Amino acid sequence: MHMKQVLIAGGSGGIGQALCRKFLSEGWYVYSLDINDNPIKDPGLRHCPCDLLSEQAIVKARSECTISKLDVVIYCAGLLKMASLIEEPVATTERILAVNLLGMMHVVRCFADDLVASHGRFVLFSSEVGLSSSHPFNGPYSISKHAVEAYADSLRRELRCIGVKVVKIESGGVDTPLLLHTMDGFDELVAKTNHYKRNLSKLRGFLQKSLLRGCSPDYLAAKVYVASATTRPRLGYRIKNSPLIRLADIFGMRFGDYIFSMLLKQRSS
């Protein structure tokens, strides 16, 4: 019987490691792609050092690690930084787009033929943020995740013609170092901004109640395993989404603008 094989792009991160452990526990052979070393040592795991932002590096890793006969490819690499869109250099958004979207596109291109051969599936990490209108000071990340939603939808409708499934993971916060550093990034934003210091003082509580109440990586990994292994997966899996994230969308865009204008209303001197 064929041992199922999964490739996890971003396998050294907090979510990636949880996914590696879950698939190993289910008897899969696991390939991990990441620029950082993977601390998990298991005979069923092959880590392939790789810059996910370089298609040439991915092709080289595929060859050197003799990656083939894949059943599932998961892209879970991600980057987040809170920023003002008029004060932060555009290069920050470019970097986040590169990690969250363009790396995903490189991985899909490099392993598409393997999944066509196996009638396998891509499992692509979007976010609850990709489903809602963009929140202030989370623009670069929101832009990237809205783009992932569009990309995954287009890809799914193309690949279903040739027997490959595409599944989106639309998760809320996850208790990883990425999430834990969110407030550090927020404090950096407050320290650097020339326009929004007073406004941002009221946003901290909202962030702590919405973004920083994440699920455990192992809980998420169990849900992603179902999305990867079930015969008839959903198009997208919403995992531990925060009601506060979508609160601003309930009554339309103008109402959402009003909520944020009240939340960020400048205090008098």
Confidence of residue 266 (pLDDT cuts 50, 70, 90): low
Long-range contact set of residues 137-140: C-beta below 8 Å, sequence gap at least 24? 137/82, 137/83, 137/84, 137/186, 137/189, 137/196, 137/200, 137/203, 138/82, 139/83, 139/85, 139/93, 140/81, 140/83, 140/85, 140/88, 140/92, 140/93, 140/96, 140/97
The pLDDT of 60-66, averaged and rounded, is 95
Range 130-154 average pLDDT: 96
Residue 135 reports pLDDT greater than 50? yes
Task: Please check the confidence at residue 216 and state whether its pLDDT lies above 90.
Answer: yes
CA–CA dist 103, 75 (Å, integer): 9
Per residue in 231-261, pLDDT (tens digit) is 999 999 999 998 878 888 988 999 999 988 8
Res. 268 pLDDT band, cuts 50 70 90: very low
Which whole number is the average pLDDT over 145-173?
Answer: 97
| Least confident interval from 9-13, 166-170, 178-182, 235-239 | 178-182
pLDDT band at 269 (very low <50, low <70, confident <90, very high): very low
| Strand partners for 74 | 8, 123
- CB < 8 Å & 24+ apart, contacts of 107-112: 107/9, 107/33, 107/52, 107/58, 107/73, 107/75, 108/73, 108/75, 108/155, 109/55, 110/55, 110/58, 110/59, 110/62, 111/7, 111/62, 111/67, 111/70, 111/73, 112/159, 112/164
Determine the pLDDT at residue 212.
63
Say whether pTM exceeds 0.85.
Answer: yes
Which domains are seen in the chain, by residue range? 5-174+216-244 (3.40.50.720)
| CA nearest neighbour of 110 among 80, 154, 70 | 70
